[in-house]
DNA sequence: CCTGAAAGTCAACAGTTGTAGACTTTTATA
DNA sequence: TATAAAAGTCTACAACTGTTGACTTTCAGG
């Protein structure tokens, strides 16, 4: 009764780690099974297929109850999630996962749909004022762009930099993005 | 004498198209050969290996003489390159290529190194003033972020939008990035 | 026309992948 | 303890991958 849940979870954890880090297509089930110290065939038992395993990992990873809590500012929640040192510095990063898998020929559509349903749509619903959709898009551009430059492209100016400085730079971009079309839009 | 150059080029074109669109690992040599209407074994003849083919495509795609022309503003050149309707709207996009392949376990290092040597370093050399490196990093964050939101994540606010509007939004982000730490840094 | 190099074709290789089915071991219940 | 379900193991499969070497065709120079 309980034993199966444990191995299922071990498989799910190892899969999340690998899918987040290397992407769906670049990860084999045998790698995952070895990391989980579990037999490959159990993937078939507990998740049906590789795609089923990925879907489970995706849903677990995108379950962000903060976004629905009326007492929490959703934008602040996202920023915290995307800049949390515990996850931000690590390969186990939401941004990294999205970027890598959103273009995958096999799971790209699924990732984009899930991203939209789980994160974008709730955020959009709670954003008010003019140009809400555009400001949200620019906000996401700032977050993903900074994350890419720091983690994927690894530009020296953003890599050889303490986390606090990076956060300051990121906040600078975010503030601008959110100010788009508002009263306090910066002029140049 | 000439015939071989033609098939070599057909192979290179098809490879570039595929690598730029789906990424190195998600593209098979047989797919490329079929698109080029050429036999698979010729990859081995003309490029040695799959990695050799990718390297050739990478070098050809990153050869941007504009960046070394003293009469052209390098930042403007990059912006033009990244927002050119001919390439920007298409899957054949430099940003897309970088994002997809910079994380690939097999060619990631090569892509990042080439990107640095061919684009970042020349740009860095020609950028002046305080916080040059940081401004460059933020500039790249703006470009890649916007491109991702529009093409990879496909957020409605940036997809269901004419190119001119998108360019305006992108320019807004770029201006802010380049103004970082300067006299005309926007205040909020 | 003859000849040899250039160009292209074909089949096969060893390795890896996701998946399925038959099998054995473990565990809980009666 | 006996028994049946649950959990885990092992082997094999077909499909696909990059790469190689032997072969055939094409074609220009003597």
- Most confident region among A2-6, A105-109, B70-74 by mean pLDDT: A105-109
Q: In chain B, how many domains are there?
A: 2
Q: No. of H helices and E strands in chain B?
A: 12, 0
What pLDDT score does A44 carry? 98
Q: In terms of domains, do A38 and A68 share one?
A: no
User: Domain limits at A138?
Assistant: 62-178
Rounded, the Å distance between the CA of B187 and C1' of D26 is 71
Last residue within a domain, chosen from B58, B74, B90? B58
Q: Which residues of B touch A153 (CB under 8 A)?
A: 98, 102, 112, 115, 140, 144
What pLDDT score does B186 carry? 59
Residues B141-164: tens digit of each pLDDT: 999 999 899 888 888 888 888 888
What pLDDT score does B161 carry? 85
| Segment B56-81 mean pLDDT | 90
Q: In terms of domains, do B24 and B117 share one?
A: no
What pLDDT score does B87 carry? 62
CB proximity under 8 Å: A 49-88 to B: none
Q: In terms of domains, do A66 and A104 share one?
A: yes
Q: To 10 degrees, what angle do helices B94-101 and B3-22 make?
A: 70
Residue B166 lies in a domain: yes
Q: Provide the token pair at B134.
A: 């940081």
What pLDDT score does B1 carry? 55
For B157, the closest of A137, A152, A175 (CB atoms) is A137
Query: Touching check for A24 and chain B: CB below 8 Å?
Result: no
> Looking at the predicted structure, is the pLDDT value of residue A2 above 80?
no
Residues B76-120: tens digit of each pLDDT: 888 888 776 666 555 568 888 999 999 999 999 999 999 999 999
A153 Cβ within 7 A of any nucleic strand C atom? no
Under the banding of pLDDT at 50, 70 and 90, the label for residue B128 is confident
Residues A142-170: tens digit of each pLDDT: 999 998 998 888 888 888 888 888 888 99
Q: In terms of domains, do A118 and A144 share one?
A: yes
Residue B154 contacts residue A112 (beta carbons within 8 Å):
yes
The pTM of the full predicted model, rounded to 2 decimals, is: 0.91
Which chain D nucleotides are covered by protein, judged by CB under 7 A?
6-11, 16-22
Q: In terms of domains, do B52 and B122 share one?
A: no
Residue A186 lies in a domain: no
Q: In terms of domains, do B89 and B163 share one?
A: yes
Alpha-carbon gap, residue B162 to A155, rounded angstroms: 31
- The dihedral through the CA atoms of B22, B25, B26, B27 has a sign that is positive
At A27 the three-state DSSP class reads coil
Last residue within a domain, chosen from A57, A83, A101? A57
Residue B185 lies in a domain: no
What pLDDT score does B10 carry? 98
**Residue in A100, A97, A95, A98 with CA at minimum distance from that of residue A82:** A95
What pLDDT score does B188 carry? 52
Q: Which residues of B touch A175 (CB under 8 A)?
A: 188
Q: In terms of domains, do B72 and B26 share one?
A: no
Residue B77 contacts residue B32 (beta carbons within 8 Å):
no
A177/B180 CB distance under 8 A: no
Q: In terms of domains, do B137 and B86 share one?
A: yes
Residues B12-33: tens digit of each pLDDT: 999 999 999 999 999 999 999 9
Q: In terms of domains, do A72 and A40 share one?
A: no
> Looking at the predicted structure, is the pLDDT value of residue A92 above 90?
no
> Looking at the predicted structure, is the pLDDT value of residue B175 above 80?
yes
Q: Provide the token pair at B91.
A: 């899957």
CB proximity under 8 Å: A 130-149 to B: 133-134, 136-138, 140-146, 148-149
Residue A166 lies in a domain: yes
A156/B169 CB distance under 8 A: no
Kindly report the nearest CA distance between residue A2 and chain B, in angstroms. Answer: 36
Q: In terms of domains, do A86 and A38 share one?
A: no
Residue B61 contacts residue B111 (beta carbons within 8 Å):
no
């Amino acid at each position: 009764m309980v034993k199966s849940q444990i191995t299922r979870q071990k498989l799910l954890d190892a899969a999340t780690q690998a899918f987040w880090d290397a992407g769906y297509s670049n990860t084999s089930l045998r790698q995952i099974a070895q990391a989980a110290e579990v037999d490959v065939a159990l993937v078939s038992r507990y998740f049906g297929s590789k795609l089923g395993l990925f879907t489970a990992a995706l849903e677990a990873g995108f379950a962000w109850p903060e976004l629905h809590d009326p007492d929490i500012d959703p934008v602040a929640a996202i920023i915290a999630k995307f800049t949390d040192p515990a996850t931000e510095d690590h390969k186990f990063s939401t941004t990294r996962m999205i970027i890598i898998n959103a273009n995958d020929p096999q799971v790209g559509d699924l990732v984009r749909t899930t991203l939209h349903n789980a994160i974008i749509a709730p955020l959009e619903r709670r954003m008010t004022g003019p140009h809400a959709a555009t400001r949200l898009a620019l906000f996401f551009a700032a977050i993903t762009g900074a994350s890419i430059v720091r983690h994927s492209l690894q530009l020296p100016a953003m890599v050889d930099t303490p986390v606090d400085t990076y956060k300051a730079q990121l906040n600078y971009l975010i503030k601008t993005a959110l100010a788009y079309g508002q009263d306090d839009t910066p002029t140049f």
